[in-house]
């Protein structure tokens, strides 16, 4: 029998409900410990299907899905998976180089990345934007005094982060614009997306963003800059133009739909080439 005490810290355990503990135990028994990344994706898909979720209807079924303990498992998985930890360390190292005073991790989940950044930048204010954070995540953040959970963005920030967020929401362009409006001119936005069908909660009608997300952000007024692991850094250079970004998004969607017969890898390669070829300035205003 797998011991939960060996796999979950005492601080986290004391903030878990019975249903959460029961679910974690069932998973640990099933895989004799933490699942692999592919197995975690399978567990997420199981819950998407069990809740009867429809990618075209963001209703109560989807809300219940995102409240399921599989997302607690996801947060715990990140804290012990070498690849996930390496990615967060790389993000942290880049953030440290920018020396921001105020940082927000939008949709920061369990707060792992924010705690990394808070520990590396003890004089910075680091916020995790989560409307309903898990009590265990709040307890873990308490050990890093400059990290706190908040329900929404307020005021201006030097640096925003959104990792694995936009592929889950019905209108990522609008959300990118509304969050970027809290970024000071000259500030940076580190965005890491996965517009691909690795899990069923990645909404299929967004997959065209894989070929032109950077250009859509540039049309909005966010200048593409460094790549960091699987993410891209954008710098706000002035006023934001949501309509210009939407027009470019429509163009990208049309290109992607014309490539429908191709496998997803082919659609990405050819789609990006077409976007680069036909990236006329008129699409940006």
Residues 6+ positions from 36 with CB-CB distance below 8 Å: none
pLDDT of amino acid 18 = 95
Q: Could you tell me the two tokens for 283?
A: 């699409």
Question: 276 vs 151, which has greater pLDDT?
Answer: 151
Confidence of residue 284 (pLDDT cuts 50, 70, 90): very low
Task: Categorize the per-residue pLDDT at 281 as very low, low, confident or very high, splitting at 50, 70 and 90.
Answer: very low
How confident is the model over 230-266, as pLDDT tens digits?
999 999 999 999 999 999 999 999 999 999 889 888 8
Own/partner long-range contacts of 64-69 (Cβ < 8 Å, ≥24 apart): 65/201, 67/132, 68/23, 69/19, 69/20, 69/23, 69/24
Q: What is the mean pLDDT of residues 4-8?
A: 85
4 confidence band (pLDDT: 50, 70, 90): confident
Give residue 279's pLDDT band: very low, low, confident or very high (50, 70, 90).
Answer: low
Q: CA 147 to CA 104: how far, in whole Å?
A: 10
Share of the chain above pLDDT 90, in %: 90
- The dihedral of CA 252, 178, 78, 32: what is its sign? negative
Buried b (16+ CB within 10 A) or exposed e, 40-61: bbebbeebbeebebeeeeeeee
| Residue 184 banded pLDDT, cuts 50, 70, 90 | very high
Measured CA to CA, the distance from residue 67 to residue 266 in angstroms comes to 35
**pTM here?**
0.94
What is the pLDDT, as a whole number, of residue 69? 97
- How many Å apart are CA 158 and CA 244, to the nearest integer? 24
* pLDDT higher than 60, residue 285: no
pLDDT score, position 14: 95
Confidence label for 2 from pLDDT (cuts 50, 70 and 90): low
Residue 237's CB is within 10 A of a number of other CB atoms, namely 12
What is the average pLDDT score of the chain?
A: 94
For 58-98, the pLDDT digits (tens) are: 999 999 999 999 999 999 999 999 999 999 999 999 999 99
In sign, the C-alpha dihedral spanning 251, 257, 258, 264 is positive
């Amino acid at each position: 029998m797998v011991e939960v005490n060996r796999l979950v810290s005492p601080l986290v355990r004391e903030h878990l409900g019975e249903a959460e503990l029961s679910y974690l135990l069932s998973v640990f028994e099933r895989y004799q410990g933490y699942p692999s990344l592919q197995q975690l994706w399978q567990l997420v898909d199981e819950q998407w299907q069990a809740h009867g979720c429809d990618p075209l209807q963001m209703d109560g079924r989807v809300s219940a899905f995102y409240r399921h303990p599989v997302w607690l498992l996801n947060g715990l998985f990140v804290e012990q998976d070498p690849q996930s930890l390496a990615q967060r360390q790389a993000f942290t190292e880049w953030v440290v180089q920018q020396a921001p005073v105020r940082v927000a991790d939008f949709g920061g989940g369990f707060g792992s990345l924010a705690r990394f950044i808070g520990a590396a930048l003890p004089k910075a204010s680091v916020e995790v934007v989560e409307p309903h954070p898990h009590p265990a995540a709040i307890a873990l953040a308490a050990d890093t005094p400059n990290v706190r959970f908040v329900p929404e963005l307020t005021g201006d920030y030097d640096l925003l982060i959104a990792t694995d967020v936009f592929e889950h929401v019905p209108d990522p362009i609008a959300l990118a614009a509304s969050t970027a409006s809290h970024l000071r001119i000259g500030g940076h936005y580190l965005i890491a997306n996965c517009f691909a069908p690795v899990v069923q909660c990645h909404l299929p009608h967004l997959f065209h963003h894989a070929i032109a997300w950077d250009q859509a952000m540039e049309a909005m007024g966010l200048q593409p800059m460094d790549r960091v692991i699987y993410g891209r850094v954008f710098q706000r250079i002035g006023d934001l133009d949501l309509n210009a970004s939407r027009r470019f998004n429509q163009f990208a969607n049309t290109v992607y739909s014309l490539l429908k017969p191709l496998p997803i890898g082919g659609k990405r390669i050819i789609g990006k080439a077409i976007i680069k070829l036909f990236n006329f300035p008129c699409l940006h205003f």
